[in-house]
Structure 1
Amino acid sequence: MTIGERRAAATLSGIFGLRMLGLFMILPVFALYAEHLDGVTPTLVGLAIGAYGLTQALLQIPAGMLSDRIGRKPVMVAGLLLFAAGSVLAAMSDTIHWVIVGRALQGAGAIASTVMALLADLTREEHRTKAMAFMGASIGVSFAVAMVAGPVLNHWIGVPGIFWLTGALALAAIAVVILLVPTPHRSGLHRDTEPVPALFGKVLRNGELLRLNYGIFSLHLLLTASFTVVPLALRDFAGLASGYHSFVYLGVMAGSLLVMVPAIILAEKKRRIKTVFLAAVALLAAAELGLWQLHGSLSAIVAALFVFFAAFNILEATLPSLVSKVAPPDSKGTAMGFYSSSQFLGAFIGGAMGGWLHGRYGIEGVFLGSAVVAALWWLVAAGMRHPSYLSSYLLRVGPVDDAQARLLSERLAGVAGVAEAVVVAEDQTAYLKVDRSRLDVEALQQYAVA
C-alpha cells in the first residue's frame, strides 16, 4: 500500500471507530443512569438504548447513494454533525423521551456506507481487502474499549459527560475529514463496497444471504436486549457496585478474545466454519439460560458473560466472512449494505424487546426471551449450506464494451483458482471469486491494466 492508501485506511478507520465508540459506551451503563430520568419506564429505557439502530438502518444505504451524487466528504461532515447534535441533545436531556430523540439523531448520522465508499475511492483494487480488514479491526477494538471504558467514564463524568465527550469526538472527526483524509481524484461506484440499486432484487432473493442477515439481526438483538438489564443484574442481584463493573467487562472481553482467535483459525484454516458457527450460536443460548437461572451470583454472571462474549466475537468475525463468500462476485457491496442494515435493525428491536420484557416479566423475562431468540437462530442457521472457501478478488481490466466483457469473463473463469468471474464494462473491473491456495496470479495479471 502507498503512503496515501495507508493514510486513508488509518484516518477513516479512526473516524469510524470513534463513532462506534460513542454509540457503544453507554451500553454497559445506561440502564443504571436512566433510573434518574423523568418519565422513565423499562420499555423506554430499551428504546433509548436501541433507538440509534432504527435511523441507522433506514438511512445508511440512502446516505451512501447520496454520496455518489454530491461527494463523500459533504455526506460524512453532515452525518458527523447530526451525530454530534444527537449527543448534545442526549447530554442536556433530563427526560427519557428527549434522550430517545437524541439517540435516534445520533443514528441518523449514518455514514458507514459513505466511509466504505470513500475508502474504496482512495485504495487500489489489489489493496482494498487489506484496507477493509483494517477498518473491521478498528470496529472490534472500539467495541471492546467501549465496554470497559463506559463504566470508568460513567464513574468520572457520568452518562451526560459521556454524551458530551462523544459529541466533541464527532466534531474532532469532522476536522480529520476536512484536513487529514485525502480527497479522491475520482469518485465512482464500487460494487465491492457499495450497494447497487439494480442488484437489490438479486441479493434479496438469495436465501443464504437472507439467512446471514437474520443472523446478524439476531446477534445484535441479543446484545442490546441483554444489556437493558445486565448492569442491573450486576448491581441489584450480584451486589457489585457500578464503579467496579468495568473490571468484569475487562476480564470477560480479554478472555473471550483469547478464545476467538483459535476458533477463527479452526473455522477458516481447517474449513469448519459451519461447525464453529453453530457451536457459537448454541453458546449464546447457553449463556442466556445461565443468566436467566443464575443472575443472583456474581461468579455465575461473569462466567455467563464470558461465554456470551466469546460466542459474540466469534460470530461477529465469522458472519461478514460468510457474506463475502456467499455473495455473487459483483454484489458484495450490495449484500454488505443489507447485512449492515439488518445489524442496526437488530439493535433497535433488541432494545425495544428487552425493555418491554423487563417491564412485563422482570430481568428473568429478558434473559429467557433472549435464550429463545438464540435457539430460533440456531434452527435457522442449521440449514445453511457449507460455504465455499473463496475470497473476493478485483482486477482492473480497462475499457471494454459489453461483448468484450462477456468474453473476458469466460477467459478469467478459466484461470486456475478462479471459481466465478464477472466483468462489468462500465466499471472497467473484473469481480472474481477465487481459491487463493490454487490461484494462478501470474496468469490473472496478464488481463490487468495499470
Structure 2
Amino acid sequence: MDSLEKRSVAALAAVYAMRMLGLFMVLPVFVLLGQDLVGATPALLGFAIGAYGLSQALLQIPFGMLSDRIGRKRLIHFGLALFAVGSLLAGLSEHVYGVIAGRVLQGAGAIASVLMALLSDLTREENRTQAMATVGLSIGVAFAVSLFLGPMLGELAGLPGLFYLTAGLALAGMALVQWWVPTPARETVHPDAQPASRQLKRVLTDGRLLRLDFGIFALHLVLTALFLVVPVTLQDKAGLPSGHHWWVYLSVMALGFIAMVPFIIIGEKKRLMKPVLCGAVAMLTFSCLLLLVSPPTLPVLWGTLFLFFMAFNLLEATLPSLISKESPAGAKGTAMGVYSTSQFLGAFVGGAVGGVLVERIGDAAPFQMMLVVLTLWLLAALTMRAPSHTKSFVVQLRSSGDDSEGGIDQALRQLPGVDDVTILSGSRTAYLKVDQQAFDAKALDGLAFVKQ
C-alpha cells in the first residue's frame, strides 16, 4: 500500500473498532448494573441488551445502498451522530425504556457497509483484501478489549459512564472521518464491498450461504444470551465481585484466541474447513451444556468459558472467510450484507427472547434455548457440502472491441480454475471466483478483451 492507502485503512479501521467497542462494552455488565434502572425486569434488560441488533439488522443493507446516492462521508457522519445521540440518551436515562430507546438509536447508525464501500473507494484492487482483513482484525481486537474493559470501567463509572464514553468514541470517529480519512475522487459501486439490490434474490436463495447466515445468527444469539446469566452467576454463585470479572474475560478470550489459531491454519492449509467448522460448533454446544449442568464454582466456570470462547473465536474468524468463498462472483458485498443482518438479528433475538425466558422460567432457560439453536446449527453444518476454496479475482475489460458479454463470459469460464463469472453491464469489469491452486492469472494474457 502507498501512504494514502495506509492512512485510509488505519483511520477507517479505528472508526470501526471504536464503534464496536462502544456497542460491546456494556455487554458483560449490563445485567448487573442495569438492575438499578427504574422499571427494570429481566425481560426488559434482555431487550435492552439486544435492542441495537434490531435496528442494525433492519438498516444494514439500506444504508449500504443509500451511500451511492448521498455520499459515503455524509452518511457515515449521520450514522455516527445517531450512535452518539443514542449513547447520550441511554446514559442520561434513569428508566429502562430510555435505555432501550438509546440502544435502538445506537444501532440505527448502521454504517458498516458504508465504511467498507469508502474503504474500497480509497484502495486499489490489489490491496483491497489486505485492507478489509485489517478492518476485520480491528473488530476482533475491539470485541476482546470490550469484554474486560467493560467490567473495569463499569466499576469506576457505572452504566451511565460507559454510555458517555461510547458517545465520546462516536464523536472521535466523526473527527477521524472528517480530518483524517481522504475524500475519494470518485465513488463507485463495489459488488465485493457493498450490497446491491439486483443480487439480493441470488444470495437469499443460495442454500450454502443461508446455512452460514444461520450460523452467524446462532453464534451471536448464543453470545448475547450468555451475558444474561453468566455475570450474575459469577457474582452471586461463584462469589466473584463484578469489578473483578474483567480478569476472567481477559484470560479466557486471550487463551481462547491462541488455542484456535492452529485450527484456522489446519482448516485453510489442509482444506479441512468443514471438519474444523463442525468441531467448533460441537465444542460450543458442549460448553453450553456444561454451563447448564455443572456446579457454578469459579474454576468450573473459567474452564467452561475458555471452551466457549475458544470455539467462539474460531467461528467468528472462520465464518466471514467462508461467506467470501461461497458467495457468487460479484455478489460478495450483498452476501456480507445479509450475513451482517443475520448477525445483528441473532444478537437481538438472544437478548430479547433470553430475557423473557429468565423472567418467566429461570436462569437455566437461556442455556436450554442456546442448546436447541446450536444443535440445529450443528445439524446444518454436518449436512452442508464441503466449502469451496476459491477467492475473488477482478478482471478489467477493454472498453472497445466486438466481443459480446456472453462471449466474454464463456471464454472466462473455460479457463482452468474459474468457478464462476459475473460481468457488470457497462462497467467493463468481470468478477471471477477462482480456485487458488488451479487458476493461473497468466492465462488471461492471451485474451484480447482483457485490459493489460
Shared fold, TM over 0.5: yes
Partner residue of 1:394? Answer: 394
Residues 1:140 and 1:445: Cα distance change in structure 2 (over 3 Å): farther
Conservation of the 8 A alpha-carbon contact between 1:233 and 1:363: no
Q: Aligned in 2, Cα 1:396/1:3: closer, same or farther, shift over 3 Å?
A: farther
Q: 1:286-365 maps to which residues of 2 (within 5 A)?
A: 286-294=286-294, 296-365=296-365
Structure 1 position 102, deviation (Å): 0.3
Partner of 1:36: 36
- What residue identity is the alignment partner of 2:99? V
78-87 vs 1-10, greater mean Cα deviation = 1-10
- Secondary structure of the residue that 1:186 maps to in structure 2? coil
Give me the identity figure in percent. Answer: 52
Alignment deviations for residues 138-180 of structure 1 (CA, whole Å, 9 cap, x no partner): 1111100111111111122222111101101101111111111
TM-score (normalizing by structure 2): 0.96
Change (3 A) 1:158 1:401: farther
Aligned CA distance change for structure 1 residues 401 and 47 (closer, same or farther; 3 Å): farther
Match of 1:208 in 2: 208
Aligned partner of 1:156 in structure 2 is 156
Distance in 2, matches of 1:371 and 1:400, equals: 58
Amino acid at match of 1:161: G
Aligned partner of 1:96 in structure 2 is 96
- One-letter amino acid of the structure 1 residue matched with residue 179 of structure 2: L
Q: Could you tell me the TM-score, scaled by structure 1's length?
A: 0.97
Residue 295 (structure 1) shift? 5.0
Deviations 1:29-61 (A, max 9, x none): 101001111101100010110000000010111
SS of aligned partner of 2:50: helix
| Cα 1:395–1:295 shift into 2, 3 Å | farther
Mapping 1:381-420, distance limit 5 Å: 381-399=381-399, 404-420=404-420
Say if 1:445 and 1:164 are closer, same or farther in 2 by CA, change over 3 A: farther
Name the SS of the counterpart of 2:188 in structure 1.
Answer: coil
2:226 matched to which residue of 1? 226
| 8 Å contact kept, 2:199–2:334 | yes
Q: Which moved more, 1:430-439 or 1:204-213?
A: 430-439
Q: Is the 8 A contact 2:389 2:436 kept in 1?
A: no
CA distance in 1, matches of 2:310, 2:402: 48
Distance 1:307 1:39 in 2: 35
Partner of 1:282: 282
Query: In angstroms, what is the RMSD of aligned CA positions?
Result: 1.5
- In the alignment, the residues of structure 1 paired with residue 360 and residue 433 of structure 2 have an alpha-carbon distance, to the nearest angstrom, of 49
Task: Output one character per residue of 1:2-49: Cα deviation in whole Å (capped at 9) or x when no partner.
Answer: 222221111111101110000001111101001111101100010110
Cα contact 1:126–1:395 (8 A) shared by 2? no
- Can you list the C-alpha shifts for 1:192-248, whole angstroms capped at 9, x where unaligned? 111111111111111111111111111000000111111101001111011110000
Provide closer, same or farther for how the CA distance between residues 402 and 139 of structure 1 changes in structure 2, counting only shifts above 3 A.
farther
Worse overlay, 436-445 or 200-209: 436-445
**1:423 — aligned with what?**
423
Alignment of 1:163-312 (within 5 A): 163-294=163-294, 296-312=296-312
Within 5 Å, give how 1:359-374 maps onto structure 2.
359-374=359-374
Supply the AA of the counterpart residue of 1:287.
S
In the alignment, residue 6 of structure 1 is paired with which amino acid?
Answer: K
CA distance in 2, matches of 1:103, 1:241: 26
Given that residues 8 and 119 in structure 2 are in contact (C-alpha distance below 8 angstroms), is that contact kept between their aligned partners in structure 1?
yes
Q: For residues 188 and 436 of structure 2, what CA distance do their matches in structure 1 show?
A: 27
Partner-residue secondary structure (3-state), 2:395? strand
Alignment correspondent of 1:112: 112
- Structure 1 residue identity aligned to 2:69: R
**1:244-303 Cα shifts (integer Å, max 9, x gaps):** 100000110011011111011111111111111111111111111111112521111111
Query: What residue number does 1:440 align with?
Result: 440
Cα separation, partners in 2 of 1:293 and 1:443, compared to 1, 3 Å: same
1:396, 1:449 within 8 Å by CA — same for their partners in 2?
A: yes
In structure 2, the CA distance between the partners of 1:290 and 1:401, relative to structure 1 (3 Å rule), is farther
**What whole-Å deviation, never above 9, does each CA across 1:321-349 have from its counterpart, x for those lacking one?**
11111111121111111111000000000
Give the distance between the partners of 1:134 and 1:387, measured in 2 at CA: 24
- Which residue type is aligned with residue 406 of structure 1? G
The equivalent residue for 1:14 is: 14
Three-state SS of the structure 1 residue aligned to 2:393 is strand
In terms of mean alpha carbon deviation, does 199-208 or 47-56 score higher? 199-208
- Judge which range, 280-289 or 392-401, deviates more: 392-401
Question: In the TM superposition, what is the alpha-carbon distance from 1:403 to its structure 2 partner?
Answer: 5.0
Q: 1:194 to 1:402 in 2, by over 3 A?
A: farther
Q: Secondary structure at the match of 1:229?
A: helix
What SS is found at the alignment partner of 1:136? Answer: helix
Which residue of structure 2 lines up, in the alignment, with residue 146 of structure 1? 146
Q: Which amino acid aligns with 1:355?
A: G
Count of residues in correspondence between the two structures: 450
Conserved in 2, the CA contact under 8 Å of 1:126 and 1:394? no
Which ranges of structure 1 fall in alignment gaps of 5 or more residues? Answer: none
**Which amino acid in structure 2 is aligned with residue 98 of structure 1?**
G
8 Å contact kept, 1:9–1:134: yes
Q: Report if the CA contact (8 A) 1:405-1:424 is conserved.
A: no
Shift of 1:353: 1.5
Q: Distance in 2 between matches of 1:88 and 1:171?
A: 11
- What's the CA shift string for 1:107-129, capped at 9, x where partnerless? 00110110011111111222111
Asked if 1 retains the 8 angstrom alpha-carbon contact of 2:34 and 2:159, the reply is no
Aligned mates of 2:238, 2:167 — CA distance in 1: 33
